[in-house]
Amino acid sequence: MKHVLVVLPVEDRHVHKLEEAGKGCSFDFTFGEEPTAERIAQADVILGNVPAERICASERLELLQLSSAGADPYIKPGVLASNTVLCNATGAYGKAVSEHAFAMTLMLQKKLHLYRDAQRGALWSDAGTVVSMADAVVLVVGLGDIGLRFARMCKAMGAYVIGVRRRAGERPEGVDELCLTEELDALLPRADVVASFLPGSPGTYHTYTAERFARMKESAIFINCGRGGAVDGAVLADALQQGRIAAAGIDVTDPEPLPADSPLWALDNLMITPHVSGFYHLPETFERVVDIAAENLSAHLAGRPLRNVVDFETGYKR
């Protein structure tokens, strides 16, 4: 009998769905408790994110189904045994994160963040000229579920959209040009908006260097709703302070939480949200996470192909 550890914050209807998907299994629901190393060691399948350091490369663990799209803590050497299959929750977060990123972009384009700041000071002030999404070239770096949804919203507003991903393939609907990661340097000078949805991995760490910010338009807006490690905070602060780019919106930082003494907090042309675009702030996101977990649990037990299997080399789903 397989033993399934569930660390998702489930309700009764979710319990029923997962037990139906895993008929014949024994279940251990934590209901919000932090699972001990002993409970983790007893699991054949884990549904949800457990502390990576507590897994200890368990040979018993066959499947780790994450509740997050990001898998970076779990692809590090020594966390998972070679026989453990790692799956993420790609597809659950696209709606929530893409809409958050899109709202950030429009807010910065229309300088609404400055008017909000002025409101707090009871200042009736004019922040000057604005730009339009309809006239923008939008560069979407990381064209997965989230990035593609963001791209299509920009396209619907009249933007010219360039998508960037690792592998060549058919250009998806909603994207005007499809390019490869190695073309990024040549693409940056063309973009009015650079939106990053990269996962955390050694290959994406500090993708946005000082040299790359220097290649962007001085009028460009930078958005990061992927992983904070894609850009060094000091480099971003310098680019904003020196006017190398016009503004930025970030939902992720490195480290998190962002320290109170970080220079990023004081920048008028930067909008920061505390990694809230995803999680379960949009309630339907959690329903999708449970659906993916149930689907993969059933598939694993039946020996069927799994959804969202993560490539340990890249941190992306295969």
Q: Could you give the residue numbers annotated as active site? A: 227, 256, 275
* E strand segments, the chain: 3-6, 26-29, 45-47, 63-65, 85-87, 137-141, 160-165, 177-180, 193-196, 221-224, 247-250, 270-272
The type of residue at 207 is T
8 A C-beta contact, residue 28 and residue 5: yes
Distance of alpha carbon 52 from the chain centroid? 18
DSSP 211-274: HHHHHS-TT-EEEE-S-GGGB-HHHHHHHHHTTSSSEEEES--SSSSPPTT-GGGG-TTEEE--
Q: What is the rounded end-to-end Cα distance, in angstroms, of the chain?
A: 29
Rounded-to-integer distance, Cα 190 and Cα 205, Å: 23
Cα angle value 265/266/270 (rounded, 5°): 70
Can you tell me which residue has the tokens 């040299």?
A: 211
Task: Take residue 251 and report the two structure tokens written for it.
Answer: 């939902």
What are the φ and ψ backbone dihedral angles of 229, each rounded to 5 degrees?
A: -65, -10
Can you tell me which residue has the tokens 């663990």?
A: 61
Task: Take residue 213 and report the two structure tokens written for it.
Answer: 């910010």
- Residue environment code for 130-140, b if the CB has 16+ CB neighbours within 10 A, otherwise e: ebebeebbbbb
- Residue environment code for 102-123, b if the CB has 16+ CB neighbours within 10 A, otherwise e: bbbbbbbbebebbeeeeeeeee
